[in-house]
Chains A and B, each alone.
Chain A
Amino acid sequence: MNFIKARKLKFEYIRRDEEGNVEGLLTALDSVDLDVRQGEFVAILGHNGSGKSTLAKHLNMLLQAEEGTLWVDGKDAMDGGNVWDIRKSTGMVFQNPDNQIVASVVEEDVAFGPENLGIPTGEIWKRVENSLQSVGMVRYRSHSPNKLSGGQKQRVAIAGVMAMEPKCIVLDEPTAMLDPNGRREVLEAVQALNREKEVTLILITHYMEEVVQADKVYVMDSGKVVMQGTPREIFSQVDRLKKYRLDVPQATLLAYELRKAGMDLPEGILTWQELAEALCSQYQAR
């Protein structure tokens, strides 16, 4: 069975005026289907307001859908009684690194999750050690989070989730507030977790470069899943992506423009490496 299985999820935000009367409804999720297998790396793309963060918050029951079904790790997420089991198996990392670190010392923050789960002290120490190791932050264990860079803080937040030993991590735009270096740091850390510890990864982002490595990509627009497939399938449809106000990776865009200008390049080029190779073989063919 799939790790996450969503069918026809629907969620609405109710807008109210100052007296509390309903002004209007904003459909954030509109019959969304989602399938994620254990150990997969799934990316969810979409511009601001497409509903991708709302979807993320459903996956560990920070929000509950009004209609539809959602199964996470074999448990019904529409049943409020499963909330702690689901949050234990599906961790979440948020956008702002400062606003998700609870403690004033790195290792104590990483311990926050296991402490909440009631893990015995000795085991907490082991988990903190392991999870700090897995994101390469052991050296900073007794530092104050305020003195770390954005990328480091985000890695601490990831370690904090890892210490709860979840089967899946949902990352809600984890790199949106980071500089390019921090972005690379964080992505390398989570991809290593996916490869080595077989943690299921759900990455929500609007940076196209980040999803090239994903196994599967979902594209969302105004609450609906409008495209799904492998990165190659998705990025070969440049025109459609533009319609949803999404960029494509620069290499893909260049290949697309070159092809439009009459060059014979294959569709769905994702990286500079692939583009360079395609161009070289073109040149040799002449």
Chain B
Amino acid sequence: MIRDITIGQYYPADSVIHRLDPRVKLMAVACYLVSLFLFRNVAGLVAVTLGLAGIIRISKVPFRYMVKGLKAILVILVLSTLFQLFLTPGETLVQIWKLKVSYEGARNAGFMIIRLTYLILGSSLLTLTTTPNQLTDGMEKALRPLGKLHVPVHEVTMMMSIALRFIPILIEETDKIMKAQLARGADFESGNLVKKAKSMLPLLIPLFVSAFRRANDLAMAMEARCYRGGVGRTKMKPLSYHRRDGVAYLVIGAYFLGVLLLRKVS
């Protein structure tokens, strides 16, 4: 189950989306996320759905691969749906004992499910089509103005790319430790919440120790390869805009404008 998390995993394929400049993709995701919370009617929903479906199609990332990432947010999804369903005041639709489901609640819950699902799908598409290095390169370049305010942009983006690189390794390790503890009779499933949380300790401590050891090793390996911060560094793949990036910016603008206009449609 724990291996199903697809966030932060790159899916190698040859598509226009893969080749786009990461800055464009970051902009696109930002616009997309805002648009998710802008639409409030079915027309807007259709527009967002078409947009997402189109991009997924072009990206050549198999849809089943993306859906796997959704399992991770299932709990949040269910919880927020329940809250929306029962706690929104309004015209009563169904009444079960003391719990009222309002018409507005059902509508909000429906939209909430769709919004959260689309949110995960859209943002995982970013990491699936962009290598972490490209992604952090894009961020580094897009956030460069902050460097003037003494924000350590290079260091932060480097940390992010390393974190992304180690996510699958640490997940695998968690799996391994879990199995080792299970084999020795550990029980992660039964008991109440407190007991469950306590039973996680023998999992977390070895994981933390190993993460620190890895960090130490990696720091040494990076130093041995002459890493000394962002100053004087060159890039194997420096970012530069192409025509397709300009076109993509136009498409994003058009999409955003479209969603804004559809808000007016009642």
Contact = CB atoms under 8 A, between A and B. Distances in A.
Interface of A: 57, 60, 62, 84, 87-88, 91-92, 94, 96, 98-105, 107-108, 111-121, 124-125, 128, 142-144, 146, 157, 160-161, 164
A101 B222 CA distance: 9
B168 A146 contact: yes
Given A104-B10, A108-B236, A88 B133 contact: no
B47 to A, nearest CB: 34
Interface in B221-254: 221-228, 232-238
8 contacts: A62-B224, A84-B228, A104-B161, A105-B10, A116-B225, A128-B236, A143-B12, A146-B169
A99 B234 contact: no
B210 to A, nearest CB: 10
Contacts of B222: 102, 112
Contacts of A92: 221, 224
A65 to B, nearest CB: 17
A32 to B, nearest CB: 20
B226 A101 contact: no
A285 to B, nearest CB: 53
Per DSSP, chain A at the interface is helix
A118 B132 contact: no
Contacts of A112: 222, 225, 227
B131 interface: yes
B234 A118 contact: yes
Interface stretch (B22-30, B53-61, B212-220): B212-220
Nearest to A101: B165
A144 B8 CA distance: 12
A118 B233 contact: yes
Contacts of A99: 213-214, 217-218, 221
Contacts of A96: 214, 217
Given A94-B217, A104-B161, A115 B234 contact: yes
A117 B226 CA distance: 7
B262 to A, nearest CB: 38
**How big is the B interface, by class?**
20 to 34
A152 to B, nearest CB: 15
Give the secondary structure class of B's interface.
Answer: helix
Given A62-B224, A88-B226, A104-B10, A116 B236 contact: no
B259 interface: no
A84 B236 contact: no
B223 A160 contact: no
A96 B166 CA distance: 14
A124 B224 contact: no
A164 B226 contact: yes
Given A103-B161, A143-B12, A87 B133 contact: no
A60 B232 CA distance: 21
A103 B162 CA distance: 7
Interface string B156-169: 00000110110011
A103 B133 contact: yes
Contacts of B214: 96, 98-99
Would you list the 8 A-B pairs with minimal beta carbon distance, nearest first? A100-B221, A111-B236, A99-B217, A113-B225, A92-B224, A116-B226, A124-B236, A104-B132
Contacts of A94: 217, 220-221, 224
A121 B236 contact: yes
A108 B133 contact: yes
Nearest to A103: B133
B12 A108 contact: no
Contacts of B133: 103-105, 108
B234 A119 contact: yes
Given A102-B218, A116-B226, A128-B236, 15 more contacts: A57-B220, A62-B224, A84-B226, A92-B224, A94-B220, A96-B214, A96-B217, A99-B218, A103-B131, A104-B132, A104-B133, A104-B161, A104-B165, A108-B236, A116-B225
Given A94-B220, A108-B131, A160 B234 contact: no
B234 A124 contact: yes
A132 B126 CA distance: 28
